[in-house]
Structure 1
Amino acid sequence: MVKKLIVNADDFGIHPAVNRAVEKAFAAGILTSTSLMAGGAAFDEAVRMARSMEGIGIGIHLTLVGGLPTVLPPEEVPTLTWEGGHLCSDYGELIKRDMKGRIRMEDVYREWDAQIRKILDTGLPVTHIDGHQHMHMWNHFFPITLTLARKYHIPCMRVPDEKLLFGFSLSPKGAFRFAAKNGLSLMARGHRKALKKAGIRTNDHFWGMMYGGHFYENRMLSVVDRMEDGVSEIMCHPSADASAMERTFHWGYEGEEELKSLTSPAVRERLKARNIRLISYRDVVKG
């Protein structure tokens, strides 16, 4: 088999700093794909930019967390907007609320349906679906993701199943992230059968959870060296102004470093040396 790589920037449309980074990483780097966030404050700018980036893959970044506004009026999805009329800030809080039975699946369906329609109404050709903080794979929400993908004939979906032993750490913070990553990876892996049955194509391998927001050049080179046959996806979060992003979102991401990785000549040369072909989800559909 041939080694193929999708390099996808999440959160397109969330902030002008992310939009500028996506544009630069596509024009001067290895970025092949990005996921558009319907509720992002810089959505309209992102759409204008996307129209000028010929060949970039455009995904739908389904969102239930991040402190962002909903696409529907908040009073129409009240079980999702209990924090000042916005989505909750943290996926842990969303999951705890869901486990207590306080999230109406009808609200999730209607909000995600509105997000998808908002993006499709731009006329941009959509290549795939993924999710902010991977909530599209949460067991209670995944049937909704699958139903909507089939409803709108979206051909591909990200499966974030990073290798279980990858990124092991003994530090308290690292150990928690490692455990959370493995829990999500196993959950996501369990949905592959349903996706295949529905005729929805996926990536074979995934990288970006353990290095999320901190995908430095040396880490990207290491991941490239680990790549196997089939379709891999690298998820990244580049930014043209990390300070502005931190003032707004407080994620601790180093988006400018990720942008450097995406535009690194060394990374491009390593991909060439390993005969890894850059693609988008559009090419996954073509086979």
Structure 2
Amino acid sequence: MKKLIINADDFGYSRGVNYGIIDSHQQGVLTSTTFMTNMPGAEHAVELANQNPDLGVGVHLVLTCDRPLLDTHKTIVDANGDFRKLGFYKGAFTIDYEEVYDEWKAQIEKFLSFGLEPTHLDSHHHINSFGDIPEVFLKLAKEYNLPVRNNMDITEDIKTTDSFSYLIETALKDDQSLNELFESNQTVEVMSHPAYLDKKLMDTSSFTYPRIDEVEFLTHPRIIELIDARSDIQLSTFKDI
């Protein structure tokens, strides 16, 4: 049986984001999400995760949004103590990778302190694939024995899906798209960002209105019927790989 993981990034970002993710799970085809432990919606996300045990919840490691959990950093924060923006990492950059390790370990440990069991690791803005950050990311994946998102070169001793797709609208468009998605793959993750718009999201994110469309897409009867009709594809989480 082929396994399809439909993951929503940014769980915990805000209440609007959290509710968009939960509706996409309860009323649609969303199976998985990843949790931002440093964001203001984190406690609310814990409540919702406990109410929805079938939703796989991993850790969305953060290095480019809001503030870190630790206050000892010098190179991964700006003068105000906020995380540096993604643009900082798009050119040549110099940071202390021990700071990344310590911060990300703190984020994983905070997730565990909520009593949740992580299904996998990925990162906000795919920052796990920049510079030498992959070494830190994979070190933590091994340390916690967790699968990871397949958006970088991954060593054989770490679990991941056979393939990773960035765009739900094309990956889940129709039967032909699904056939192409699984043409040479048994396990596939499709990324999404469903959300309802609230002030936190509107004030701090450049990716806003398309998130509402993603909620509609993931809960649309046509998409639900499309996947339900496929006897060769099973909606899954990272626990299933």
Aligned residues: 236
Unaligned runs of 5+ in 2: none
Q: Which residue of 2 aligns with 1:150?
A: 142
Q: Which residue of 2 aligns with 1:27?
A: 26
Alpha-carbon shift at residue 26 of structure 1 (Å): 1.1
Taking only aligned residues, the RMSD between alpha carbons, in angstroms, comes to 1.9
The code of the aligned residue for 2:89 comes to L
Query: Do 1:129 and 1:158's aligned partners in 2 also have CA atoms closer than 8 Å?
Result: yes
The secondary structure found in structure 2 opposite 1:8 is strand
- Give CA-to-partner distance per residue, 1:2-36, whole Å, 9 cap, x none: 32100100000011111001111111110110000
Unaligned runs of 5+ in 1: 161-187
- Give CA-to-partner distance per residue, 1:103-144, whole Å, 9 cap, x none: 111111111111111101111011100011111122401111
Query: Do 2:197 and 2:208's aligned partners in 1 also have CA atoms closer than 8 Å?
Result: no
The answer as to 2:164 corresponding to 1:206 is yes
Could you list the runs of 4 or more consecutive aligned residues of structure 1 that deviate by over 6 angstroms after TM superposition? none
The code of the aligned residue for 1:51 comes to N
Q: Which residue of 2 aligns with 1:269?
A: 225
The secondary structure found in structure 1 opposite 2:38 is coil
C-alpha separation in 2, matches of 1:95 and 1:281: 29
C-alpha separation in 1, matches of 2:19 and 2:208: 19
C-alpha separation in 2, matches of 1:274 and 1:55: 20
Query: Do 2:89 and 2:130's aligned partners in 1 also have CA atoms closer than 8 Å?
Result: no
Q: Which residue of 2 aligns with 1:224?
A: 178
Alpha-carbon shift at residue 219 of structure 1 (Å): 6.2
What are the within-5 Å matches in structure 2 for residues 40-55 of structure 1?
Answer: 40-55=39-54
Query: Do 1:3 and 1:227's aligned partners in 2 also have CA atoms closer than 8 Å?
Result: no
Q: CA 1:219–1:226 in 2, change beyond 3 Å: closer, same or farther?
A: same
TM-score normalised over the length of structure 2: 0.91
C-alpha separation in 2, matches of 1:45 and 1:36: 11
Query: Do 2:15 and 2:198's aligned partners in 1 also have CA atoms closer than 8 Å?
Result: no
What are the within-5 Å matches in structure 2 for residues 1-287 of structure 1?
Answer: 2-66=1-65, 68-73=66-71, 76-82=72-78, 84-90=80-86, 92-96=87-91, 99-100=92-93, 102-154=94-146, 156-160=147-151, 188=152, 191-192=153-154, 194=155, 196=156, 198=157, 200-208=158-166, 211=167, 215-216=168-169, 220-222=172-174, 223-228=177-182, 229-241=185-197, 245-275=201-231, 276-284=233-241
Higher relative contact order (CA 8 A, sep 6+): 2
The code of the aligned residue for 1:111 comes to E
C-alpha separation in 1, matches of 2:48 and 2:196: 15
The secondary structure found in structure 1 opposite 2:64 is coil
TM-score normalised over the length of structure 1: 0.77
The code of the aligned residue for 2:178 comes to V
